[in-house]
Every structure is written in C-alpha cells, then in structure tokens.
Structure 1
C-alpha cells in the first residue's frame, strides 16, 4: 500500500497547534543520526526534515540513482549532512546511526525480509521503525527477535513530510517506553511535528477515519448522483460547509490516486475487525473499479474524476468524468442552494445536500466516535490526527462539540440509529461536551471510562 498523500494543506506546520512534548529530564535514548532505507517520496522527505533538524543522515535504496534524486531534493545548506548509497553496498553502515527507519514499498513480506537484514546490522541501543501507513506492527514483528520487538515502533509521517504536521507513533506489545519517549521527543522537539499516539490497529488513526470518509463516500454518493446531483456539488458540500479542504471527496481521491485507495481497501478488508462498518465499503463501486482497471487513477495519470484538457486555441477546459453515464463532460457549477452558511449546519438541513452531508460526513463522525478506545486511548489524539493529517478545521470530537452533542444524539434517536460509544459515554456522564476548560484555563477531555483528564500538549 502506498502512502496517503494529502497535499495542498489548509495549514502548514508552523501555523498548527503546539506539538505534544515528552518531559524526561535525562532521556535514556537520544536520536541525533538517522539511517533511512528507501529513497522514495516518504524516505526522501524524512531524510530532508532530519537533515534540516541537524541530524547526520544515511539514505539507502536498491537504486543509487533514486538515492541521488532524493539527495538533490534536500535544501543545499543541509545536503552536507546526508550521505547516500545502495542497500547492497552500505547496509552495514547503519550500525553508526541512532535511528534506523524503513520506508520501502507497502508489502509485508518485503518489510519482514528487510527488517531481518537490518536487525543484524544495527547497533545495540539504536531504535528502529517502519513508516508504514497501515500495516499493523504486530504483523511486521511476528517471529522477530526480542531485541527487535523491544526497540521497534511505527513512525508514520504524512505526505509531503516537509509540510504535513502529523507524526503518528505506534508502539508494539513489547516496545520499551524509553523507545517511544525517544521518538516522541525527536518528532516534537527536533522535527516540529505534532506527535499523535496511536494503537497498533489497521491504518492507525488518521487513515482509519480519513479512508472511511473516502471509501464510504464513494458508495453513499451513488444514489444522490443517480437522482441528478453532480459530483461538483458533492465535492462542494463535503468541503467548506463541513470544515474540510476544498478537494471534498472526489478531488481528494484524485489527489491520492485510485490505485492507492484500492490497496487501502484491500488492507482494510483483510485487517478490520469483524463487524466494523468499514468492511461494507472496502471494495470500489462498479464505476470506480472500472476506472481503476483501465488506469484512470487521478492527477498522476492526467485525470481521474476530473481533468483539464488543452483546446485548439491554447486555452484549457475543465472536464468531469460523469460516474452515472461513465463519460467525460464539461465541468459544472456546484449547487449549494440547500447549504446554510454556518459551519456544519448543512448536517441538519432539509435538502438533498443536507442528506448527503449527514450520510457521508455525519457517518464519518459517528464512525470516529465508535473507535475510542480501540484506536487511541483518548479523543484528543484522534482530533489531532485528523486535523494535522487531513486538514479538517475541527477533529471529529471537536466538530461534535461545535454541532452540540445533545442535538446530534437527539437526531440519531429520531432516525433509530445506535449511539456511537463515545456519545453514549458522554450522555451517561451528564456532561454536555467532550472538551471543557478548567478554572485555570487548561483544556480537559472526556475519557472512555466517563472520567475527565487534561489534554496534554
């Protein structure tokens, strides 16, 4: 599975909230040098930000030309900190580095084979990680040595690494706390990332929820398209009116690529727990599957759901691939006549646009509210992951607070929908919102057991 690319961010690293900090006076392990295996988009990005942070970097790939291209992308003033080579020639050199980071193709067998080689070459006291975007660590660690299981974690960056704030950190069952402390400190203090602590579940936090939005959206939009709603309207409704980037649904998938989303769906189908709603949407609808099969993948192939074509006079014209007729047509203006101006109010609008928003965006909020504590110990990690990784204005629980949880609960009961776990917990607690401010101004959050705890930043 390839990395999810949510480029065109609504906010940059330097404008996001403060990153989580680990307060350890004398950390047991420190990261001052990084060896990265895999010089693709993600490996190159990790090399660039690590060098910019002042780290000595070794970047290896099976193809030295790929490593050289990655080095060429490092800012000139930091390029001197990066050395490159091939896995065949320089693998033993990783012994001189504090952190060994795997960033190769999203294939479990490939990762396992590589980690067996890395484990024999790295030095005692080093930490090791995978940048996988969705393969559970327990699968990678199976049958590996005790030292590996003690020193390993998932360190998942979002693409482009130089821009996106999110840094998901996932321990294994046997990972030493000092290893997680080292990664968290390095991510927050050296790289300036927002560290999110996730659990070892498929797709972790950001992609578990973000991919549910995309894959369920493809299915749930079908009846609206059949009734005459345009894809342009779908994207417009699932953008600013609900606090999402202007790419909406189809524009976001065009950016990522149908090939990536197909692999995501296959991974979810294999690893989601029984009964998870995401299983209903793991496969593409027929029209989208046909697009993927013929290589109509998105921006990377010159067009997916939309494209721009050059006319005879040299100008360009926007076109949309109509999913009902399965043919290209001129792009249309979206119809936002049934969309109230206030953020989120479309979810309660008595209009086709409101119904669409309730099914797709509202369904994603409900899905997220049912995943704690499965994917994270608290709601703040979930909200941070979605804001920092997918550039939502509010994370799912922040958005529920904005809408008014009591109002949401009343609506769910009016349509005989089950209450997601955290909404049920909120109702039972007698509290009115998931977040609150204490007398000292500090922010508090509702925990899965109904207690409240401070939000750590």
Structure 2
C-alpha cells in the first residue's frame, strides 16, 4: 500500500501542538489545528458585546495559541507565509473535518481520562485506515488503546516529538500493542524522509528512550553537584561545548525548558520505575524542592538557576544561584587545568580520554559522571531498546549531544570504561562481558564507508540500518580521500563526483581553503564529472578568515591583501566558470565568504536550517569575494521593461547594507540568495551530501557545458548612485547610522551602481569585481574598520562605531 500524507489534524494547540502543526506546514502539508471552546468570555469580549456562540470567541484558544507560537523566537516555521497552510477550528464545531485527513495527531493534556474522551470523539469521525498517533511521553499505550475499535488499534502509535519540533530532531515511534508493522515502518520512514528527523523505534516504557536517559543524566548531576561541592557555573562549564553538548549545558537548559517540566518527568520515572537500579536518583534533591516551592522555574518565571537583573547603571547582569545558601550571587569565572589540556583538540569525541584522565576536580567529575552514565545505559538494554545505537541516536537527536553514551564509551575505550565503573562501585552488564570476551573491543566499527554496531543477540558487529540514503563523511574520509591540505579534504563520493570538505576552525575561508578548492576543481575537471562543496560540521562556514585580513591591514601590507582578495574573487569565478558542475551544500551558519561561495555555485542544495547572508558590514567592509558584484548582477537579471529598476537594485543593496541573514533556507529565496527554480532545500540534513551528489550527477549527465562569462550586467550609474547617497545622508542625519556606516554604505553604493557612469549601461562581471576589490581595500585602511574587525575577533560580536 502506498500511503501519502496530504493533510493532518493536530488535536491540541498548546506549545507542542502548535509547534507540530507548524512543522507539518513547513514541509508543505495542509494542517487542521483544533482545540477546545472557551468556557467564559474575556473582559475584552464582554466589552465588545460578544457571546460564547460567536465564531471568533469559539476559536479564540486555538487562534491565540497559534499566533503566540508564530511570534515566538526562534520561530517554529520556516517562512511566515507557510502559516497559511494551517486552518484552525474547535473540537465542537470542526471535529467532523478530521474525516478528510490522512493522519490525526493527539497533543492534549497528559491525563488519561481526557485522552480517552478525545479518542472516543475522534472515533466518531475518523475514516478507517487513517493514522492516529499520540504525542504523549508518559502514558502507557495499552491504557490509551482500551475500548478502541480494531481499526483504530491497528493504526495507533505514539509519535513523540521533542520541543521545539522544528529544531530538535528526535522522533520517537512507539507502536501500540496491536499496531500493524506497515504503520510502524511508514512512521519511521516518514519521520526521516519528510519531517527531517532521526526516527528512533522505542518500547512502551516510562519516558521511552530520550527522556529516560536524559532525565537520568540530569538527576544524576543534581545529586553529584552537592556531593562534589560544585557550583552551577562549574557544572555548566564542564557539561557544555567542551564535551559536545549545547552551549546551554545543564542548568541553563533546565531554565529554558522549565524546571517544572523536568520535575514532572522525573516524578513520573520515580513512580513508574520502582525496579530501576537508579530509582533513588529520580527522587528530587532538597534544592530542587525549594526552587519548586519558590516557583523559581527558569525563564518562564524570570529566575531559576540563573537570574537576569539590571544594575544601577541600567546594564543587564546575570546572577547564578548558590545551591548552599539558595541565594543569587554574581557569576564566578570558571577554569580547570584539565579543560586547558583540551583547547588544542578540535573534536569533542577526541577529548574524552584527556577529560577522564584529569588530575583535578574536573577529571574526578568526568570519571564519576561517565561511569554512572555507562552503568545506566548498559542496563537499559533490552528494557528500553534492543539495539544500543538507538540509545545513541536518541540522545544526539533529542538532547543535542554530539556523541551518544556508547560512542563516548568507545572513545574512552571499552575496557577503560569498565575500569571507571568498577572504581565507582558499578557492576558490568553480562552482555558487555560477553562482548569483550568474544573478542569485540568496541561498540561500533566503520567498514566500507558504513557504520556497524555490536548486535547483542547475534554476538557480532552488524551494519546499522537506514544508512543507504546518507553519505557520512566521517565514514568515507580515510578510505576515499583523493587529496588534502591543512584546510580541506577532497573525497571521492563515487559515480564521478568529488566532495570538497572544509577542515579549518569554524570552516573559515583562508588561503589553505582557497588553494584546496582550486585543487578540487582541477581534479574534478581532469578525472571526474562534478564537484560538491559540503561538510558535516556544526556550520557550513562563518566566512573569510578575518584574522588574516586584520593582520595584513594592520601591517599595511596592501599589495598582499589585494592579492588575497583577488585570489578569493578568482576562486569564486573559477567555481562559476569551471567545465564541471559545482554544487554548494550550505547548512547552519553560512555567512560572508561562505555565502559568496554558495552564490557562485551552479546550484545550491541547502539544508532547511541554513542561516545565510552577507554580513561584512558588521566588520566594517563590503562583501569582497564577489558578493557585492553578484547582488548587482542578480538585480540586473530581474530588471524588466517599464519596471522601476531602482527599486529592484535597492532591495539587493539593503540585503547587504542591513547584513540580512535568513532564519531558514526558505527565507533566503526572499533575499535572492537562493533562486527559485534553480536551488533546492533538503529538510533532513543527514541526506544533504547524498542529495547534492545526485544534483551534480543530474547536471553532468544532462550534458553540462561551461558557462560563458557575463559581459551584459546592466548597471544604472549616477542615477542609482545619487539615490543611494541621498538615502545614506538621510539615515545619517536621522542618527540611524554612524559616520562609518555611511562611508561603508556609500562604497557599496558605488559598486552596485557600477560606478559614477553618466547613464545606465552594460558592464562585465570583471569590471564589477575590480571596483568591489578597490572599495574593500580602501575600507581596510580605515581605523574604524580595524576597530570593528578587532572587536569581532575578541568578542564574536559586531561593534557600532
């Protein structure tokens, strides 16, 4: 049976319900979002003389919830216009409309009696064969299944999204006791392919996989922090990016999620897992109970483990909670010798051996922390999952960990992990002993570009399923390496397509990266069919190496700087005018030079979560790697007879002048950075490199021909330049921009107008590149530009001067 999802109904419009509705709208699905009818009027409604029968009143709850979600930041939706795909209604007037949907998702309050009533009403209107799932994370499916029809039970499962549904990738699928295999397989596949998730098959156990392990980890820390006399700041320093976890680490994450949410799940685990060997850890420590009594729940109540206050001079300050006195105090600076030892180790996975070997308090913390985690996860098999990789996948996708527990254990060494556990008094699970005695020294291995995991029943390494749709660069880098330098690795993706992977810090673009990119084009033109520029780091590229630019400018090495900028421009033009198709695969932050590179590819295959823009104004310059030229060219391509050409050019000027960055790949179409009909968006980032390879092949096999260099870019000369200069004068007079902002804007205006030509005319790309480079260099001689670059290098934030 081929099952297609054209329309879904989401029952319940709270934070999760609205978020799920928005994410289905993100992927082009029509959504019916329903909630209850209000029981009483608001003061405003009374003042207007409305009644409870008024349609606006009857849909007030659902409409208010959706409006609130759409206004929230970060946004739950890729593009505000996608909200048009969501139709709202209420459970009394509109429930009959669910007869026309393909999937019904229940997201009402976590109470069995309420869910049962909702399911009873749904059964009256649901057409046979329609998928029906619940987003519950705490109620056993067998209880929700009771009294339902055979067809309902056959199509019923839990589909547990993590909040926020757009950003967190975990999608736990828990089939009901009578759910058909076809439905389970479909949900797993749909989550990966369409929703862009990591689908994890879980068992009907309390909190499933992600929250069971995640809440254990946090509760274990809560008890450990008091035992070791650690501060809130120290724990967040130790459990953040240094071990491949989000910046918000532990306590800041709890503040964002809400302490009450965490306590609800922890209490549920304490009540429902009496046989769990770590049962006592789910009991809340005293300081958490005090915080709950005081309603210090985090961001939602203005204070939690951290509290934002304003000092007498009006500046904001962040205080942290002293867990001994339960009073807020100024944050303390944190440093540990063990952390210093990891500063030269780029990848978190390579740091764990050093961290657990530390001789200070940090080393002791990691030994205690990881031994407790290893001991816990080993005992959850087969209780919550039969396969160890599902536990790792759940923690990476649901909690933003770079590496799952068994991957970390592998990095430390299986035997070393057993040693750590024994030192802390934990026993080794029998399957681990059996594994090591059978000659298996790791949980994972990589063979022929694929990941294999230790299968416990088979007592051997077997291939992890579902990899065929992915290309994992970590798995193929060694075996498929064609060429490398300090900045890039060029890999053979197969079928005649190469990949150029950046390896610099934050994937910045400097001389080594440009040399590597040129070499990749050489290799592709000689022996291959196409080139993908893609990586699987946190971000595609944060732009050019501004540290190098700063040093050259300070030393007044302007000839060298001119050559460096020309090399960047020439490389971008080489990408555009090579004899093979070039595909850029941006994701995450794609800023400045990273954006310029993408603008010059034959095609962009962007991840949906791509934040792309030309942000050079923030460091006091204009885009100098072809970005200013390219926006002038793209504006020129949009000029139409009888249109006001100045308006089109102004929009492209403002994209650079306001340093606009898209909050999704779909917003990049509005900026003309991605182009409709040419560039494509991939929702599942794991599939991006494979998808980019497909597009490179398609272009190659369709008979790709080297493009002819452009000499027909229409520029408007003095007419446009005059308009821009008047605009920047007005902005400066109104104190919207500084004197230096005005100077940068006027330089950009000169480039995008094509200079001060007396009338509109046609110029070549090279002409625009030359005046772009000249403008860039002149700005690098300005003291205020150097101040901006220095400030960015020191703080990571732009300076307004």
TM-score, length-scaled by structure 1: 0.88
1:425-457 Cα offsets, whole Å, 9 max, x none, are 43133111111122x322211012223221112
**Secondary structure in 2 aligned to 1:195?**
strand
Q: 2:454 aligns to what?
A: 446
| 1:185 maps to which of 184, 189, 211 | 189
1:225-247 Cα offsets, whole Å, 9 max, x none, are 2xxx3221122112233322232
**Distance apart, 1:312 and its partner CA:** 1.7
| 1:57 maps to which of 25, 28, 31 | 31
Q: 1:15 aligns to what?
A: none
Structure 1 residues 423 and 235, CA, compared in 2 at 3 Å: closer, same or farther?
Answer: farther
Verify: 1:33 aligned to 2:11, yes or no: no
CA contact (8 A) 2:173 2:199 kept: yes
Q: Any residues of structure 2 matched to 1:125-274 within 5 Å, and which?
A: 125-225=129-229, 229-274=230-275
Aligned length: 426
Q: 2:368 aligns to what?
A: 359
| Most deviating of 129-138 and 386-395 | 129-138
**Distance apart, 1:157 and its partner CA:** 0.8
CA contact (8 A) 2:129 2:151 kept: no
Verify: 1:388 aligned to 2:392, yes or no: no
Verify: 1:378 aligned to 2:387, yes or no: yes
**Distance apart, 1:415 and its partner CA:** 4.7
CA distance in 1, matches of 2:120, 2:424: 53
CA contact (8 A) 1:347 1:354 kept: yes
CA contact (8 A) 2:451 2:464 kept: yes
| Most deviating of 138-147 and 229-238 | 138-147
Structure 1 residues 307 and 443, CA, compared in 2 at 3 Å: closer, same or farther?
Answer: same
| 1:116 maps to which of 113, 120, 140 | 120
CA contact (8 A) 2:225 2:231 kept: no
Structure 1 residues 281 and 416, CA, compared in 2 at 3 Å: closer, same or farther?
Answer: closer
CA distance in 2, matches of 1:99, 1:313: 55
CA contact (8 A) 1:409 1:423 kept: no
Verify: 1:368 aligned to 2:342, yes or no: no
CA distance in 1, matches of 2:205, 2:186: 22
Q: Any residues of structure 2 matched to 1:3-18 within 5 Å, and which?
A: none
**Distance apart, 1:422 and its partner CA:** 4.9
Q: 1:87 aligns to what?
A: 91
Structure 1 residues 421 and 304, CA, compared in 2 at 3 Å: closer, same or farther?
Answer: farther
CA contact (8 A) 2:374 2:417 kept: no
**Secondary structure in 2 aligned to 1:163?**
coil
Q: 2:794 aligns to what?
A: none
- The runs of 5 or more residues in structure 2 that have no matched partner are 38-58, 71-76, 346-350, 467-801
Q: 1:77 aligns to what?
A: 81
| Most deviating of 194-203 and 413-422 | 413-422
Q: 2:640 aligns to what?
A: none
1:343-385 Cα offsets, whole Å, 9 max, x none, are 2232232322222222234312321122122212212211111
**Distance apart, 1:211 and its partner CA:** 0.6
**Distance apart, 1:273 and its partner CA:** 4.8
CA distance in 2, matches of 1:263, 1:193: 25
The root-mean-square deviation of aligned C-alpha atoms, in Å, is: 1.9
TM-score, length-scaled by structure 2: 0.51
CA distance in 2, matches of 1:361, 1:316: 36
CA distance in 1, matches of 2:368, 2:112: 34
Question: Relative contact order (C-alpha < 8 Å, sep 6+): which is higher?
Answer: 1
**Distance apart, 1:71 and its partner CA:** 4.4
CA distance in 2, matches of 1:328, 1:158: 31
Verify: 1:44 aligned to 2:26, yes or no: no
1:274-331 Cα offsets, whole Å, 9 max, x none, are 1431x21222111210110121111111110111101121101111111101111111
Structure 1 residues 365 and 65, CA, compared in 2 at 3 Å: closer, same or farther?
Answer: farther
Q: 1:14 aligns to what?
A: none
Structure 1 residues 349 and 142, CA, compared in 2 at 3 Å: closer, same or farther?
Answer: farther
1:199-243 Cα offsets, whole Å, 9 max, x none, are 111111111101111112111211222xxx322112211223332
CA distance in 2, matches of 1:421, 1:175: 32
Q: 2:472 aligns to what?
A: none
| 1:405 maps to which of 399, 408, 414 | 414
Structure 1 residues 142 and 360, CA, compared in 2 at 3 Å: closer, same or farther?
Answer: farther
1:15-43 Cα offsets, whole Å, 9 max, x none, are xxxxxxxxxxx53x332210000111111
**Distance apart, 1:51 and its partner CA:** 1.7
CA distance in 2, matches of 1:315, 1:416: 49
CA distance in 1, matches of 2:137, 2:360: 37
CA contact (8 A) 1:386 1:395 kept: yes
**Distance apart, 1:70 and its partner CA:** 4.8
| Most deviating of 440-449 and 351-360 | 351-360
**Distance apart, 1:65 and its partner CA:** 2.4
